[in-house]
Amino acid sequence: MKSKTLGFIFKYIKGSLFFAILSIILSAAYVAGALYIPYVIGKGVDALFMEGGDEIMLRSLILLLIIIPLTAICQYIMSLCNNRVSIKVVERIRKDAIIKIQKLPISFLDSKGKGELLSLIIADTDAMSDGLLMGFNQFFVGITTILGTLCLLVMIDYRIALLVLLITPLSLFISAYISKKTYVLFDNQSRIRGEQTGFINEMVTNVKTVRAFGHEDENTDKFGEINERLVDASTKAVFFSSLVNPSTRFVNAICYALVAVVGSMICMKEEAFTVGLLTVSLSYANQYAKPFNEITGVITELQNALACAERIRLFLIEEEMVMPESKDLEPSKGAITLKDVSFGYSKDKVLISNLNLDVKPGLKVAIVGPTGCGKTTLINLLMRFYDPLSGHIYLDGKDTTELSYKDLRDNFGMVLQETYIRKGTVADNIKIGKPDASMDEIIEAAKKAHAHSFIKRLPKGYDTMLSEDGGNLSTGQKQLICIARVMLIDPSILILDEATSNIDTRTEIRVQKGFGELMKNRTSFIVAHRLFTIKNSDIILVMKDGNVIEQGSHDELMAKNGFYTELYNSQFT
C-alpha cells in the first residue's frame, strides 16, 4: 500500500519537481553551512592562544559574516520552494478531485456523506501536503544534520563521537514513547471535537425547531457536557505531549555536560585536542541532539500525511461512469421507451421490476403513487443518474447508454422539489442553463414562471445578490426561480418532480398555466402528490411497490374505481 501511496504523491510532486529538487539542494547547503560555522568559530578560539593569531581571527570573522547570511538565505529560499510545491500539490489534487466528482456515479456520491467528501478534499489534502512536504524537508534536514555532525565528531575525536552516539538516542526513544501514548489522547480529543462540531452545526441548522419545541435548556446542558469532555481530553493530551520537550532536553543537557567534562579532560591531557576543538565538539554535540526532537514529531506527521494521501488516492481511483463521446445530435423529438427495466439501489432489493413504457412525442405523462413507490427513481433512470440493473431505455429509438450524458441531458429540463440556488444575482441563477441569455429572455421566462412580480420587489430586482442556497429568499421563491430557469432553456422533454410542492395553491394554479404553455408539443413527465394538478395528463402511471399497476387517463382510471380512485379521493378527506 505504501509504495502505491508514495507513487501517488510523487505523481503530484512531479509538476513541481524543479522546486522540490532545489529545496533538497538548499537543505543540504543550509546543513553544510550550519555545520561549518562552529568549525570556523573553533579556529577563531584557537587563534586567541596563538602568537599572531589576529589575522586568523579576522579571516574567521569575515568568513562568518559571509557564511551566516548565505545560510539564512538558503533556509529562506528553501521555505519558499517548499511552500510553492505544497500549494501546487494541493491545487492539482483539488482540481482532480472536483473533476472526479463530476465523473463519479450518483450512487457513489449518495453513499458518501457530504462532510466526508468535504473533509477529504479540504482537510485531508492540506494534511497530506503540509505533513509530507514540510515533514519530509525537516526529516531530510534532521537526518543530514545527525550524519554530518557524527562524521565531524569522529574526525575530531572518536571518543567524544562514541559518547554522543551512545547517549543522545535516548531522547529519540523517550520522544517516541511519549508520542505513542499521547496519540490515543489526541485521537480522543479529535473525536470529541468532531462530536462538538456536529452538535453545533445541528443546533444552528435547526434553531427554529429547537426553539419551537423548547429544547434550549436541554441542548445547552448537552453542549456543556460535550464541552467538559473536550476540555478534559485536551488538557490530558497537551499535558502529556508537553513532557516530550523537557524530557529530551534533559537527556541532551546530560550529553552536553558529559561532552564538556570528557572533552576538557582530553584537552588537558592531549595537546592536539585544543580548546577550539572542544568548542566545536560541544556545538556539534548540541546540533546532533536537536534533530531527534524534530524527527520524532515529523514521523507522526508523516504517518498522518500518508494515511490522508491513501484516502485521497482511493477516492481518485474510484470507478468512473462510462461516458460515450458527445456527437452534437439534433434536439430530441421526445419519444421515450422503457423495455423490461428493472432497478434497485442494491441488487438484493429490487425497487422497479420489468417496467415497460412507451411514450410518444408530445405526451404529458403523470407519475403518481404513495411515498417510496419508485416515482423519483423512475425520473433518475430517465436522466441516467442511475442505470437499470437490466433492461433498456430508449430516446427516439436510441439506447441512452450509447449517448453521452451531455447529448442526453441537453434534451431535458428538470425542476426538482429540492431547489438549487448558487451565490450570485437572480439573473445569474435563472440563466444557469443558458449563460448567453439576454435580459429580455430572462424577464420573459420569469414572467412565465410567475416569478417576475416578487423579483421586482427585491432591493435590486434581477441584480439582487443571493446568498449561498438562497438564504435570503423563501422556499417558494427559490422554487419559482428554478421553474423560470427551465422556462428559459425551452427543453425537448420536461420533468417536474414535485415542482410546485412549496408554492401556495393560488400561485400554483398560475404556474400550472405557465407549464401548460411550456408543455405544448413536448414530452412531459410530472411527479405529483396533489393529484388535481395532473387531471389533464394524457397518461397517468399509477405506481405501487416499484410496479406500474394502473395506466390511463384520469377519467379512465376513475372509471376503474381502483387504486388511483382511492388515491385521488384521499386528498379530499
Residues 379, 375: Cα–Cα separation, whole Å: 7
Please check the confidence at residue 296 and state whether its pLDDT lies above 70.
no
pLDDT band at 183 (very low <50, low <70, confident <90, very high): low
Buried-state track 206-226, b at ≥16 Cβ within 10 A, e below 16: eeeebeeeeeeeeeeeeeeeb
Superfamily of domain 336-570: P-loop containing nucleotide triphosphate hydrolases (3.40.50.300)
Place of cell 423560470: 484
Report residue 488 as a C-alpha cell: 428559459
In the chain, the amino acid numbered 521 is N
Out of 65-69, 133-137, 496-500, 527-531, least confident range: 133-137
Please check the confidence at residue 174 and state whether its pLDDT lies above 80.
no
> What SS3 class is residue 403?
coil
Single pTM value for the model: 0.67
Which residues, in sequence order, are CB contacts of 24 under 8 Å at separation 6+? 140
Q: List, as one string, the DSSP characters of 359-396.
A: E-TT-EEEEE-STTSSHHHHHHHHTTSS--SEEEEEET
DSSP assignment, residue 349?
A: B
Report residue 60 as a C-alpha cell: 574567521
Please check the confidence at residue 1 and state whether its pLDDT lies above 60.
no
Residue 9 · residue 309 · CB < 8 Å? yes
Residue 532 · residue 571 · CB < 8 Å? yes
Q: Which of 244, 255, 236 has its CA nearest to residue 294?
A: 244
Place of cell 398560475: 510
pLDDT for 115 equals 59
Out of 62-71, 227-236, 422-431, 496-505, least confident range: 496-505
pLDDT for 190 equals 65
Please tell me which residue, 529 or 567, carries the higher pLDDT value. 567
Residues 568, 452: Cα–Cα separation, whole Å: 33
DSSP assignment, residue 423?
A: S
pLDDT for 440 equals 92
pLDDT band at 30 (very low <50, low <70, confident <90, very high): confident
pLDDT for 370 equals 82
Report residue 481 as a C-alpha cell: 426561480
What is the Cα Rg of the chain in Å? 36
Residues 420, 479: Cα–Cα separation, whole Å: 8
pLDDT for 84 equals 86
Q: What mean pLDDT is predicted for residues 276-298?
A: 74
Cα-Cα end-to-end distance for the chain: 62
Per CATH, the number for 1-156 is 1.20.1560.10
In the chain, the amino acid numbered 525 is F
Q: What mean pLDDT is predicted for residues 409-415?
A: 82
Q: What mean pLDDT is predicted for residues 93-99?
A: 88
Mean per-residue pLDDT over the chain, rounded: 80
Please check the confidence at residue 91 and state whether its pLDDT lies above 80.
yes
Report residue 381 as a C-alpha cell: 433512470
Place of cell 523537557: 246
Q: Any idea of the CA torsion for 512, 517, 522, 524, to the nearest 10 degrees? A: 0
Residue 523 · residue 494 · CB < 8 Å? yes
Residue % of the chain over a pLDDT of 90: 3
Extended beta strands in 390-499, E state: 390-395, 398-399, 412-415, 424-425, 465-466, 493-497
Residue % of the chain over a pLDDT of 70: 87
Rounded to the nearest 5°, which phi and psi values hold at 389?
Answer: -70, -35
